[in-house]
Structures are given as structure tokens and as C-alpha cells.
Homo-oligomer: A and B are copies of this chain.
Amino acid sequence: MELSTEMISEKMENFLKLCKKNKVKITPQRIEIFKALAATDEHPGVDEIYNRIRLIMPNVSKDTVYRTLALFEEMGAAIKVEQLCERVRYDADVTEHQHFLCERCGGIKDFHFSGLRKLFKENDLSEVGEVKSMVLQLRGTCKDCLNNN
């Protein structure tokens, strides 16, 4: 679903303010990339943005798209859809539990979060679709890292 023009221009104004606040140069590339991102609710990836931008600016490099999107996140103009774990990692514990990722040491600790199922029943998700699984992950600093510092 594409968003309305008014909606987008409002977002664009806000974006330009954010750029000035952050002393970030307003370039045609940045404007087009933001416009492409703000015009959709499809949570596009780098390639989708890149392909769209190339129609208007045939010479943008993919590197620019990567850099620009990362910049938008830093500025608070966009968020990255959570990738909970950069690399594939495995766990021989197949019972139900949740994962805590330590941002300092990169380790993962298991924990049990109670009340999730109950909460799940209380929220009506039929408008979204048929939910098959749910993932809850936490991030922060693990106890070991807190103690060793």
C-alpha cells in the first residue's frame, strides 16, 4: 500500500528538519531514498530501495543506499527491522524458552518469560493474519559483563 501524498510531504518536512538538527547534508540521493522509504509500508530492503531509486537516478550506487539507510537509522528517521542475530546460531535445548543477547560480549543467555501465552490470547491478531509462532528476544548487558566491569 502506497501512502498518501500529504502524508509523505509531512514526513519529508520532518525529515529535512531532522537533517538540519543533525547537521547532515541534504543531498538529492538522501531525499529520493527517504521518499521511497516513506512512501511505502512494505518495509523494503536495500535492493527494493535501490531498484526504485535507479529509475530516477540511474547512477546511485548500492553503497550509497546502504550508507544512507544506516544514517537514517542513526538520525532517527527510520528503523531497521530487527535482525535478532547476525549469524546463524544453534541451541540443543529444544524446550520453550527465550533468548537474551548481550550487546557487550555477544553471548546469548536463556530465560523464561511467563505470561506470554496469556497476553497472546488477550490481543486480537486476526486482522494481521494467522499467527504460527512468536519470538521474544531481549537485548542488553548480561550479568557476567556487568560483574566483570
Contacts and interface: CB of A to CB of B under 8 A. Distances in A.
Contacts of A93: 41, 79
A132 B141 contact: yes
Contact of A135 (B45, B88, B92, B136): B136
A78 B99 contact: no
Contacts of A45: 87-90
Interface string A92-124: 111000011011000111110111100100110
A91 B81 contact: yes
Contact of A34 (B92, B135, B144): B92
Interface of A: 11, 34, 37-38, 41-46, 49, 69, 72-73, 76-85, 87-94, 99-100, 102-103, 107-111, 113-116, 119, 122-123, 125, 127-146
Contact of A82 (B69, B99, B143): B99
Contact of A92 (B11, B123, B131, B143): B11
Given A89-B43, A129-B140, A113 B119 contact: yes
